[in-house]
Every structure is written in C-alpha cells, then in structure tokens.
Amino acid sequence: MPSFFELLLLCGVVLAVAFWWRTNELKQMAYQIARRRCDESDVQFLDDSVVLSKVRLRRNDEGHIALLCHFYFEFATVGDARYRGEMQFLGRRLDRIEMEPHKR
C-alpha cells in the first residue's frame, strides 16, 4: 500500500500534467486567434508565437474557479516598429484581446 507521501506526490504530478496540458491547449488557441486578428488587421504577426505571461485563478460567470491566462504577441506594420497585442482567457473562453495603436 502506498504511503501518504507517495499519494501526495502522485497527486502533485497529476495536477502538474493537467496544468501543462490545459495551458498548452490555450496557447494553441491563442496562437490561432492572434494570427487571425493580425490577418484581419492587415499587420504582420511577428516571431510566429504567443507567450504565456501570467496565470491566476479567478471565478467565472457561473461562480466556478477557472484559470485566468494572459498571453501576449507582437506584430508590425510597415517599417521596423514592433507593437504588442494581449489577450486573456478565462477558462477556455477568450475574455479580451487588445492591440496597441499602430500606424498602417
């Protein structure tokens, strides 16, 4: 029979894998949304990536605890200027997306 410590360690590993799995899934969704938003805005999606910058727990509209994940990405118009875009997910739902004001 496993000891209490072994069970606790197993639970920790399971939670870590579940957290990684969920944030990876959200990162893929964020990538697709950022690319689509850049195409719609007629700007260039830079570095072909989004970055997970912050994770917190927050209650959703139904009162359940969910992950609040912040991602950022960079884009450019004509020239060398880089601009930043940010998006936030609450659970699996896109809560907001913003792009810095930029010149076309």
Whose CA is closest to 54, among 88, 92, 98, 17? Answer: 88
Is pLDDT at 104 greater than 70 in this prediction? no
User: Phi first, then psi: what are they for 37, rounded to 5°?
Assistant: -65, -40
CB distance 84 to 101 below 8 Å: no
Spatial separation of the C-alpha atoms in residues 33 and 50, rounded to whole Å: 10
The amino acid occupying position 36 is R
- Residue range 40-91, pLDDT digits in tens: 999 999 998 999 999 999 999 899 999 999 999 999 987 778 999 999 999 9
According to the model, what pLDDT value does residue 30 have?
Answer: 97
According to the model, what pLDDT value does residue 14 have?
Answer: 93
Q: Is 104 exposed, middle or buried (0-12, 13-18, 19+ CB in 10 A)?
A: exposed
* Average model confidence (pLDDT) across the chain: 92
- Residue range 18-31, pLDDT digits in tens: 989 989 999 999 99
